[in-house]
Amino acid sequence: MHGLLASKSPAGCYESLCLGDEPMPIFAHTETALEHITDILHDLYFTLPEGDFVPQGGVVSIRLFDKERLLRRDVMSEFQCSIHEVDSCEIGGDRKKCPDPVYFNQFRYSSRKGLLVLKACPPLQLRFRVRNLHVALAQVV
């Protein structure tokens, strides 16, 4: 099993990520760390639930997988992305215009609005109302 390795910035927030041999979760509490998570997850796939994502104990978990084996040719990598401190989630855009599974483009965060947006295949977006930016990423395969 492979995991993600991270290096800490002087402020103690994870700033850089890379594939490694030991499983360990990565946490994004800053927009810079969120950009690194976006770099890893870019063009991976996930499945939309029938309804909206419903927070369980304030957490929404999304399983992303490397359907095209871009990260590692020998195995289909899978990641568990958990968004914490979620008050609500809504899906914007037309699901019918997107393939199933849906591919991931990027995260965007507005601390002023408390809004974390997961952009997927255009025009689909998942909008999470969050109290703080707290995204955890772990590689499971």
Distance CA 13, CA 7 (A): 8
d(CA 63, CA 50): 15
Determine the residue type at 17. Answer: L
Pairwise pLDDT comparison (116 vs 141), residue with the higher score: 116
> What pLDDT is attached to residue 9?
45
Residue 96 sits at φ, ψ, to 5 deg, of -65, -20
- Listed in sequence order, the DSSP H helices in 42-127 are none
DSSP code for 59: B
Number of domains comprising the chain: 1
Q: What are phi and psi of 108, to 5 degrees?
A: -135, 145
Let me know if residue 7 belongs to a domain: no
Residue 49 lies in a domain: yes
Identify whether 35 is part of a domain: yes
Indicate if the pLDDT at residue 123 is higher than 60. Answer: yes
Is residue 95 included in any domain, yes or no?
yes
Domain assignment present for residue 20? The answer is no
Its domain, for residue 52, covers 28-139
Quick check: is 13 in a domain?
Answer: no
In a domain, 2, yes or no: no
The tens digit of pLDDT for each residue in 97-122 reads 888 899 999 999 999 999 999 999 88
| 9 domain-assigned | no
Span 25-46, pLDDT tens digits: 788 999 999 998 999 898 899 9
